[in-house]
Each structure stands twice: as C-alpha cells, then as structure tokens.
Amino acid sequence: MTTPAPVQTNKAGLSKNDYRGLPSTLCQGCGHNSIANQIITVCYDLNIVPEEIMKFSGIGCSSKSPAYFLNRSFGFNGLHGRMSSLATGALFADTTLRAIGISGDGDTASIGMGGFKHMVRRNAPIVYIVENNGVYGLTKGQFSATAEVGLNLKHQGTNQYMPVDICMEALASNATFVARSFAGDAKQVKELLKAALSHHGVAVLDIISPCVTFNNQEDATHSYTWGKDHEAPLHEISFIPALDEIELQGEFAEGTVREVSMHDGSTVLLKKLEKDYDPTSRANAFQMLESTQLNNWLVTGLLYIDESKPTLTETFNLVDTPLNRLADPDLRPARETIEKINAMMF
C-alpha cells in the first residue's frame, strides 16, 4: 500500500481545490476558461481566503464564468449590463472583502456602458475584468460594440462601425487602474490580476479573450492567431507581494525596471522592453491607445495606474465593523430621539 501524496497547501492552509469552481460549460478553448484558471492560481498564490472575495457578473458567456472559479466565494450573476450597480451596492456590505467582477464586451461596452463608466468614475474597489471577444456568443455570433470595422461574421455581414475601446472609455472616466492583456498570454494575465487585486480602487482589465466558435478567424482582431502575431507588451510585468523582498538583480538590473508601489505595500515591477513606458501618466496612456489604434497593434500591459485616489467606500467614513454585522442598537436611533424629531416638525 502506498500512502497518498500530501495535498499541497498555501499559507492560508488551503489547497488549489479550495479555489476551484464548477466544471466550465463554455466551449473548449474559450479564452474565458483560461482567465478563470488564472484567477484560481492567483488567489491560491496570494493566499487569499475565498470567503473574503465576492464575485459579480452580468449576462453573457463571460458572465457565466464566475461559477467556474472560487466556489467558496459569494457570487451574484445579475442582469445584462448591470453588474456595475449590483456590485456597487454590495461593496458596502462588508468593506473588508475584495471583489472581482467578470463582464464581457457586450455586457460592458453596449448595454452596460453607462453603469460601467459611473462605477469607474466612483473608483469602486473592484477588479473589473472584461473578457473581450468582439462578439455575442450566447446568442450565436452577433457583432459586439468592440468588433473592428470590416469584421465579417457568418450571418451578420460586415461591421460598419468603429469599435469601442474599453481602456479608452475607462481612462476617459478617470479610472485609476487600466490594463489590457490577451488570454493567450497566461503569464501576463496572472501578474496583472495580482496587481489588480492589490489596487486601491477600480482596476479595469480589458482581456482579449478569443471566441473559438464565432470570432476566431485569423485576421479578426480578437482571434488567437492575430493576438499572438500582434501582441506588443509594454513591459514585462511581475508582482511582488507585500512581505516578499525585492531583488533587483540580473534581468531586473537597475535602470531597466520601474517599480510601482501599491497601496497595500506590494510592488509591481515593470521591466522595460523596447521603449520605456510610464504608466502613471494619463496622457501617456491616451497617446499609447491612440497609436495602438492607428498602427493596429495589440498593446498589452499596465496602461495606467494611480494608487492615491480614495475608493468609493472610503468616501463614506463608515464604521469599522462591517455594516452587515451591525445590529439593533447601532441601527435604530435611541427611543428618546423620537421626541426631538417630533419637536423638529412644526
């Protein structure tokens, strides 16, 4: 008889299994599955207790995916385009929790655009992931608002309209963390997710996540092939948790690396590639996105970050106890106040 190998656990004492979700019902090879897997890995690696995460989504293929990771986290798969409002209210329940929202390009850039931009401008503390494939999958292959001009789809003909750039919209709404990635670049997705989870405020992650069934033609800008051929990372990103020591040696030699200090004490290291890119400048980010459009690149990486702004819930000066654990004496004014209130009426 052989004894089974001990299950590997993280510093929270949990195994990878504790972070998994239900089996995915999305198509095999769907970019969304790979993102769900990265979320599992990242939360495990960062020793996050699943009960300390809340998951949100709207409606669409992307919005199904919160069921496929972190089974032990509370989640709410709400209405099409309305993840922003649902999550905004829920964030007040217990501000010690972290939130991950999964939306799609239809859910965010079409029906949910207003709510998305308002959630961003309020700096709601949430990791807002857009799994962007340029197409409506669940309704079988219609154009989304991020589809490129000239895209041909089987039953739809040719798209005539300019696409919505989610990163541009986020920046225009004063987002405090804007990143773009590609589901085919697992390592970058992972490091950006870690940085996003440490961010102080709203972290918008626009991840090009190919739809293998309806929009994966080689020349389509949301396909695996096009993404692999055109991805131009701004930098090589790595995330150093708060308590880990930063060693800047070898490939991370001084002068070639930018350090971004996160609000929670962790650090994001950005290794310079062809050109140096400063992600703390909003003007740079706009310029970069503009040239991306002109030159047909898939620029990925951390486009913009600002750790200094207060988050939505911080602007309220709430009590330290989570609001949803308060009871009668904290919630109902004392009996003697009613007379004063009545005296305030005429």
> What is the chain's Cα-based Rg?
22
Provide, rounded to whole angstroms, the least separation between the CB of residue 33 and another protein: 17
Of 297 and 316, nearer to another protein (C-beta) is: 316
> Does residue 105 come out as left (phi exceeding 0), alpha (psi in the -120 to 50 range) or beta?
alpha
Of 246 and 319, nearer to another protein (C-beta) is: 319
Provide, rounded to whole angstroms, the least separation between the CB of residue 301 and another protein: 30
Of 90, 236, 54, 222, residue with least CA distance to 143:
222
> DSSP string covering 247-307, please?
---GGG-TTSEEEEE-TTS-EEEEEE-SS---TT-HHHHHHHHHHHHHHT-EEEEEEEE--
Of 173 and 198, nearer to another protein (C-beta) is: 173
Of 116 and 143, nearer to another protein (C-beta) is: 116
Of 136 and 239, nearer to another protein (C-beta) is: 136
Of 266 and 313, nearer to another protein (C-beta) is: 313
And the tokens for 340? 């004063």
Residues that bind another protein (CB under 8 A): 22, 49-52, 54-55, 66-67, 71-79, 82, 84-94, 96-97, 114-115, 118, 313, 316-320, 322-328, 330-333, 335, 337-338, 341-342, 345-346
Q: Output the CA–CA distances (angstroms, integers) from residue 146 to 134, 163, 166, 189, in the order listed.
A: 5, 4, 8, 20
Buried b (16+ CB within 10 A) or exposed e, 145-182: bbbbeebebeeeeebeeebbbbbbbbbebebbbbbbbb
Provide, rounded to whole angstroms, the least separation between the CB of residue 14 and another protein: 10
Provide, rounded to whole angstroms, the least separation between the CB of residue 266 and another protein: 23
Provide, rounded to whole angstroms, the least separation between the CB of residue 47 and another protein: 15
Provide, rounded to whole angstroms, the least separation between the CB of residue 27 and another protein: 17
CB atoms within 10 A of CB 335: 7
The answer to whether 69 touches 104, Cβ cutoff 8 Å, is no
Of 70 and 240, nearer to another protein (C-beta) is: 70
Q: Could you give the CA distance from residue 302 to residue 305 in angstroms, rounded to a whole number?
A: 7
Provide, rounded to whole angstroms, the least separation between the CB of residue 333 and another protein: 4
